[in-house]
C-alpha cells in the first residue's frame, strides 16, 4: 500500500464526528449532534461501531510504519471488528480511503471495498462494492447515495452527487450529478448541482 499523508488523531475524531452527524441528519432530521441524539446512534446502531473501528484501524495503517506497533494497536480492535461484522453482516475493507460523513443503513448487510470514497456518502442495506476479476476497484466522489441491494464493481469512477437507485448493477463510470438505475446501470436523469 502506498504511503498516504499523515492522518492525525484529531482528523480521526473529526471524521467520527462527521459520521455521527450524518446519521443524526438522516435518521433524526437534526442539523447538529446533541448528547442524547449521539448516544442513541451509538447504542442503537452497531453499524456505527463498525465504521468507528474501520476509522481506528485505517488511522493506525496510515499513521504508523512499524509493524509491531500496528499489530499491537490493531489487536485492541480485533474482537470488536469481527463481532460487529457478524452482528451487522457487513465488512469494510481496511485499506479503503473513505471520507468523513459516511452513513450506512442501520440494517447493514454491506460489503464496502472501494479504493476511495468521498465525503458524505450514504450506503443502503445489502450493497456490495468490490473489485472485478482484474482486481480493479471502484472510486466514488462526494455525496454519493447508493440504494439498497445494489452492486458496484470494477474500476469505475462515480462522480460527485450521483444517486444510484435500488437494485442497480453498475460496472461503468458515471459523471457528476446523475441518477443511475437498472441492470446494467444506466443514467436515467441528470440532476442540477446543489449549491
Residue 164, SS3 per DSSP: strand
Q: What number of helices (H) and strands (E) belong to the chain? A: 4, 15
Residue 130, SS3 per DSSP: strand
Q: How far is CA 149 from CA 51, 52, 84, 98, 169, in A?
A: 20, 23, 20, 20, 9
Q: How far is CA 120 from CA 3, 38, 144, in A?
A: 24, 17, 7
Quick: pLDDT tens for 134-187: 888 999 999 999 999 999 999 999 999 999 999 999 999 999 999 999 999 999
Looking at every residue in the chain, the average pLDDT score rounds to 90
Total tally of structural domains belonging to the chain: 2
pLDDT at 3 over 90: no
The count of other CB atoms within 10 Å of the CB of residue 115 is: 17
User: Among 59, 89, 119, which residue terminates a domain?
Assistant: 89
In a domain, 101, yes or no: no
Same-domain status, 68 and 130: no
Same-domain status, 64 and 25: yes
Same-domain status, 76 and 145: no
Q: Is 86 exposed, middle or buried (0-12, 13-18, 19+ CB in 10 A)?
A: exposed
Same-domain status, 115 and 79: no
User: Among 89, 123, 154, which residue terminates a domain?
Assistant: 89
The CA angle 116-121-126, to the nearest 5 degrees, is 95
In a domain, 99, yes or no: no
Quick: pLDDT tens for 114-136: 889 999 999 999 999 998 888 88
* Structural domain span for residue 120: 110-195
> In this structure, what C-alpha cell is assigned to residue 70?
500496528
Beta bridge partner(s), residue 92 = 112
> In this structure, what C-alpha cell is assigned to residue 56?
481506528
Is the backbone peptide bond immediately before 149 cis, with ω within 30 degrees of 0?
no
pLDDT at 40 over 80: yes
In a domain, 28, yes or no: yes
The pTM assigned to this predicted structure is 0.89
pLDDT at 27 over 70: yes
In a domain, 102, yes or no: no
Same-domain status, 120 and 184: yes
Mean pLDDT to the nearest integer, 45-58: 94
Question: Would you place residue 194 in the very low, low, confident or very high pLDDT band (cuts 50, 70, 90)?
Answer: low
In a domain, 130, yes or no: yes
Position 5 scores a pLDDT of: 59
Amino acid at each position: 500500500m502506498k504511503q498516504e499523508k499523515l492522518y492525525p488523531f484529531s482528523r480521526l475524531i473529526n471524521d467520527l464526528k462527521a459520521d455521527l452527524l450524518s446519521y443524526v441528519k438522516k435518521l433524526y432530521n437534526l442539523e447538529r449532534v446533541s448528547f442524547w441524539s449521539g448516544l442513541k446512534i451509538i447504542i442503537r446502531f452497531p453499524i456505527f461501531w463498525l465504521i468507528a473501528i474501520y476509522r481506528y484501524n485505517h488511522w493506525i495503517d496510515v499513521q504508523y510504519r512499524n509493524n509491531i506497533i500496528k499489530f499491537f494497536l490493531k489487536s485492541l480492535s480485533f474482537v470488536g471488528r469481527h463481532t460487529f461484522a457478524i452482528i451487522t453482516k457487513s465488512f469494510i475493507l481496511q485499506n479503503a480511503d473513505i471520507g468523513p460523513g459516511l452513513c450506512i443503513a442501520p440494517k447493514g448487510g454491506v460489503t464496502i471495498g472501494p479504493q476511495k470514497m468521498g465525503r458524505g456518502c450514504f450506503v443502503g442495506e445489502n450493497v456490495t462494492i468490490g473489485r472485478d476479476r482484474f482486481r480493479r476497484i471502484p472510486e466514488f466522489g462526494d455525496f454519493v447515495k447508493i440504494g439498497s441491494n445494489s452492486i458496484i464493481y470494477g474500476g469505475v469512477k462515480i462522480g460527485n452527487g450521483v444517486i444510484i437507485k435500488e437494485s442497480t448493477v453498475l460496472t461503468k463510470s458515471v459523471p457528476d450529478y446523475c441518477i443511475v438505475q437498472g441492470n446494467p446501470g444506466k443514467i436515467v436523469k441528470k440532476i442540477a448541482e446543489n449549491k
